[in-house]
Amino acid sequence: MINTHTHFDSLHSLYSDKIESFMLDMIDDTVTDERSILNDAIRHSLLNGGKRIRPLLVIASNCLFSDDIDAILPLACSLEIIHTYSLIHDDLPSMDNDDLRRGKPTCHVKFGDDIAILAGDTLNTLAFEILSTYLTSFSDKAVLTIIQMISKNMGISGLVGGQVLDIKSSNKELNIDHLNNLHQKKTGALIQLAITSPAYLHHADPLVIKELESFGSHLGLLFQIIDDILDVVGDKSMLGKSPGKDQVLNKLTYPGIMSLDACRDIANQEKNSALTNLNHLKNTYHYDTKELLAILNFTFDRSY
């Protein structure tokens, strides 16, 4: 049996230093007054390990069109920065009330709710500063399109809207369509952007973009289904966060409305659909999809 983690680990090893170095460079270390605690909180949350799925997806998608990794790094890291801001706010006592993230105390536990909220706010704006300043290898029009897409999909139509649906939903609704819609926004929007944005920057064929959108949709749902399964069966030391939180909070989840076996069946269906997209990109358009495939396999098989 092929160890799919090995392929993902190789991908991670290949690009992680560039990702971490770029994000470190984006943190303003010139502040020495009371605001320095904000930088400490940002460092704690942003440079705190993690799978880096989203920036790796950006790089893997970009590799369909170009091998220039440095050119796409601002986009890759901006989406990871947005993801980190959303995690900081998700972990707050008024939201999911988590005290552990990536094996370390969450931002609000270490720095207080006030600084955690401001750290999230700062990261959200930093992402757009990076996009508008450092994404210089592409046309201004393409960059503006990307900024518009990200802005729309991170607001009420996407990530934040999904967070509201998550907060206001409970197991009592028992509605898989509602659950899919919730996670297409909260989790899927950012994952789909990571996959499609490079195609827009490279002015790819609209049919290719449509195939990537479909792949991103299936991958986003797969990621969340596996996440929900791991919240039930995962190991705390492996996850780096506290399992069982969804049930405590009475959140609407896939295992909350169906058996674990049924969840795994749906995950398998989403993986196969995503695989069909990759095969189409490979066979019809002759793209090398091995890096996207590595991330897909890891997402399906992951234990953390």
Note the pLDDT tens digit of each residue in 194-212: 999 999 999 999 999 999 9
Q: What percent of the chain has pLDDT over 90?
A: 79
* 46, 52 contact by CB (below 8 A): no
Q: Quickly list DSSP for the chain.
A: ---HHHHHHHHHHHHHHHHHHHHHHHS-TT--STTHHHHHHHHHHHTS----HHHHHHHHHHTTT---HHHHHHHHHHHHHHHHHHHHHHTSTTTT---EETTEE-HHHHH-HHHHHHHHHHHHHHHHHHHHHH-TTS-HHHHHHHHHHHHHHHTTTTHHHHHHHHHH--GGG--HHHHHHHHIIIIIHHHHHHHHHHHHHTT--HHHHHHHHHHHHHHHHHHHHHHHHHHHH--HHHHSS-TTHHHHTT---HHHHS-HHHHHHHHHHHHHHHHHHHHHHHHHH----HHHHHHHHHHHH---
Give residue 238's pLDDT: 64
Q: Compute, in degrees rounded to 10, the torsion defined by CA atoms 259, 186, 134, 143.
A: 110
Q: What six digits make up the tokens of 111?
A: 């720095």
Give residue 2's pLDDT: 45
**What is the domain extent for residue 56?**
4-301
Q: What is the mean pLDDT of residues 58-86?
A: 97
Phi (first) and psi of residue 101, to 5 degrees? -145, 125
Give residue 130's pLDDT: 98
The CATH number covering residue 51 comes to 1.10.600.10
In this model, does residue 1 exceed pLDDT 50?
no
Per the listing, tokens 């098989």 go with: 301
Q: What percent of the chain has pLDDT over 70?
A: 92
Q: How far apart are CA 49 and CA 94, in angstroms?
A: 25
Phi (first) and psi of residue 100, to 5 degrees? -135, 135
Number of domains in the chain: 1
Q: Tell me the pLDDT band of 41, cut-offs 50, 70 and 90.
A: very high
Instruction: For the chain, state the CA radius of gyration.
Output: 19
Single out the residue of 16, 27, 26, 87 nearest to residue 55, CA to CA.
16
Residues 6+ apart with CB under 8 A from 296: 219, 222, 271, 274, 275, 278
Phi (first) and psi of residue 193, to 5 degrees? -60, -40
Give residue 203's pLDDT: 97
Q: How far apart are CA 142 and CA 203, in angstroms?
A: 8
Lowest mean pLDDT among 8-17, 167-176, 200-209, 247-256: 167-176
Q: How far apart are CA 28 and CA 116, in angstroms?
A: 17
Q: Which amino acid, one-letter code, is at 187?
A: T
